[in-house]
Amino acid sequence: MVVGKTTKRTLYRERRQGDGWAEAADDGRQTEVSFPVWKRQGARSLAASAAATGRRAAASPQERTRGGDTATMARSPKHVMLKRSRDHAGRTMCEAMGAGRTGCYIVLDVMLDMAECEGVVDIYNCVKTLCSRRINMIQTEEQYVFIHDAILEACLCGETAIPVSEFSPTYKELLKVDSQSNTSQLREEFQTLNSVTPHLDVEECSISLMPRNREKNRSMDVLPPDRSLAFLVTTEGESSNYINAALADSFLRPAAFVVTPHPLPGTTTDFWRLVYDYGCTSIVMLNQLNQSNSAWPCLQYWPEPGLQQFGPMTVELLSRTEHDDVIIRLFRVQNITRDLDETDLSEQDTTRLLPKQIQEGQLVVRHFQFLRWSPYRDIPDSKKAFLSLLAQVHNWQRECGEGRTVVHCLNGGGRSGTFSACTMILEMIRHHSMVDVFFAAKTLRNSKPNMVETMEQYRFCYELAQEYLDCLEAR
* 426 within 8 A of 436, measured Cβ to Cβ: no
Q: What is the mean pLDDT of the chain?
A: 79
Q: Are residues 420 and 333 in the same domain?
A: yes
Question: What's the pLDDT at 92?
Answer: 52
Q: Are residues 302 and 404 in the same domain?
A: yes
Question: What's the pLDDT at 10?
Answer: 45
Instruction: Provide Rg for the chain, Cα atoms.
Output: 24
Residues with a known catalytic role:
94, 409
Q: Are residues 154 and 297 in the same domain?
A: no
∠ Cα 102 104 108 (to 5°): 120
pLDDT at 327 over 50: yes
Any alpha helices (H) in 230-362, and if so which ranges? Answer: 268-277
Angle between helices 141-157 and 123-133 (to 10 degrees): 130
Question: What's the pLDDT at 300?
Answer: 94
Question: What's the pLDDT at 45?
Answer: 52
pLDDT at 177 over 80: yes
- Give the number of domains in the chain: 2
User: Could you tell me the sign of the dihedral formed by the alpha carbons of 283, 289, 294, 295, in that order?
Assistant: negative
SS3 410: coil
For the entire predicted model, the pTM comes to: 0.79
- Is residue 182 in some structural domain? no
Boundary of a domain, candidates 126, 159, 192: 159
pLDDT tens digits for range 244-272:
999 999 999 999 999 999 999 999 999 99
pLDDT at 306 over 60: yes
Q: Are residues 386 and 265 in the same domain?
A: yes
Q: Are residues 265 and 388 in the same domain?
A: yes
Q: Are residues 397 and 284 in the same domain?
A: yes
Q: Are residues 300 and 425 in the same domain?
A: yes
pLDDT at 135 over 90: no
Higher pLDDT, 41 or 460: 460
- Is residue 427 in some structural domain? yes
pLDDT-derived band at 52 (thresholds 50, 70, 90) equals low
Query: Domain limits at 7?
Result: 2-159
Q: Are residues 155 and 235 in the same domain?
A: no
Q: Tell me how far the alpha carbon of residue 247 is from its chain's centroid.
A: 9
pLDDT at 72 over 70: no
Q: Are residues 416 and 273 in the same domain?
A: yes
Boundary of a domain, candidates 133, 159, 185: 159
Higher pLDDT, 246 or 198: 246
What is the per-residue DSSP string for 63-113? Answer: T--S----------SS-EEEEEETT---EEEE-SSSSTHHHHHHHHHHHHH
pLDDT at 123 over 70: yes
Q: Are residues 211 and 142 in the same domain?
A: no
Question: What's the pLDDT at 231?
Answer: 94
- Is residue 185 in some structural domain? no
Question: Of the given ranges (147-156, 303-312, 394-403, 463-472), which has the lowest mean pLDDT?
Answer: 147-156
DSSP class of 359: P
Higher pLDDT, 286 or 70: 286
- Is residue 63 in some structural domain? yes
pLDDT tens digits for range 353-400:
334 434 466 899 999 999 999 988 999 999 999 999 999 999 999 988
* 89 within 8 A of 456, measured Cβ to Cβ: no
* Mean pLDDT for the stretch of residues 56-60: 49
The two beta strands, 20-22 and 6-12, are: unpaired
Q: Are residues 36 and 123 in the same domain?
A: yes
CB-neighbour burial class of residue 223 (10 A; exposed 0-12, middle 13-18, buried 19+) = buried
Question: In angstroms, rounded to a whole number, what is the distance separating the alpha carbons of residues 197 and 445?
Answer: 6
The two beta strands, 246-248 and 326-335, are: unpaired
Question: What's the pLDDT at 140?
Answer: 87
- Is residue 171 in some structural domain? no
CB-neighbour burial class of residue 71 (10 A; exposed 0-12, middle 13-18, buried 19+) = buried
- Is residue 110 in some structural domain? yes
* 298 within 8 A of 262, measured Cβ to Cβ: yes
List Cβ neighbours of 385 (8 Å cut-off, separation of 6 or more).
324, 325, 326, 370, 372
- Is residue 280 in some structural domain? yes
Q: Are residues 80 and 226 in the same domain?
A: no
CATH number at residue 372: 3.90.190.10
Boundary of a domain, candidates 95, 129, 159: 159
- Whole-angstrom CA distances from 360 to 98, 108, 276, 302, 356 are 42, 46, 11, 22, 10
- Is residue 16 in some structural domain? yes
Question: Of the given ranges (170-174, 196-200, 424-428), which has the lowest mean pLDDT?
Answer: 196-200
Question: What's the pLDDT at 316?
Answer: 96
Question: Of the given ranges (170-174, 219-223, 432-436), which has the lowest mean pLDDT?
Answer: 219-223
